[in-house]
Amino acid sequence: MSDDFTLPEDKAERMERCAIFYTDVVPHNHALGLRLVDIRAAEATVELPYAENLVGNPETGVIAGGAVTTLIDATCGTAVFLKLDRFAPLVTLDLRIDYLRPARPGIVLTCVAECYRLTRQVAFVRAFVHQGDPGHPVASAQGTFMRTEE
């Protein structure tokens, strides 16, 4: 590893390094219980466990949209780090989320995000949130992230 920001090549080590954004570096991710569960070259998979304190509507038991937005934003950021092969300062420029159906209460939400294009200053990411069946998503998202390093 050339510096503290470069991600190692070994998948287990990459997972361990990226997981700190869900346990130590970003307190909001930790408070929501977000867990990094898988990575690929430019793709991250993160879970948001169901929790009563995250429910937005007590009558339906559905998790609040803000928690889902954080799940998507964090997963997209991790996908960008993986595409870059390093940690780098990022700013969310735009994050469009389409809620396709209500999430079922009591079931974990899983977000899979892929950074499919990287320019000198902007990363382009797409994501889907599902509850066990990727073919039946709860939400889809498209985002752009600005790289702020020089």
Residues 61-70 have a mean pLDDT of 94
CA 115 centroid distance within chain? 11
Residue 26 located in a structural domain: yes
Residues 48-57 have a mean pLDDT of 94
Q: What per-residue confidence (pLDDT) applies to 41?
A: 92
**Which structure tokens are listed for 35?**
């867990």
Beta strands in the chain (DSSP E): 35-39, 43-48, 55-57, 62-63, 90-99, 109-118, 122-130, 139-147
Residues 44-65 have a mean pLDDT of 94
Residue 66 located in a structural domain: yes
| pLDDT higher than 80, residue 58 | yes
DSSP 12: H
Residue 150 located in a structural domain: no
Q: CA separation (Å) from 32 to 22, 28, 68, 145? A: 9, 6, 10, 22
Query: What CATH number does the domain containing 108 carry?
Result: 3.10.129.10
Residues 16-29 have a mean pLDDT of 89
Number of domains present in the structure of the chain: 1
Q: Which domain holds residue 49?
A: 9-145
DSSP 4: T
Q: What per-residue confidence (pLDDT) applies to 48?
A: 98
For residue range 104-135, what is the model confidence (pLDDT) as tens digits?
999 999 999 999 999 999 999 999 999 999 99
**Which structure tokens are listed for 5?**
């920001």
Q: What per-residue confidence (pLDDT) applies to 1?
A: 35
Mean pLDDT rounded to a whole number for the chain: 92
d(CA 123, CA 149): 13
**Which structure tokens are listed for 28?**
């909001």
Residue 114 located in a structural domain: yes
Residue 2 located in a structural domain: no
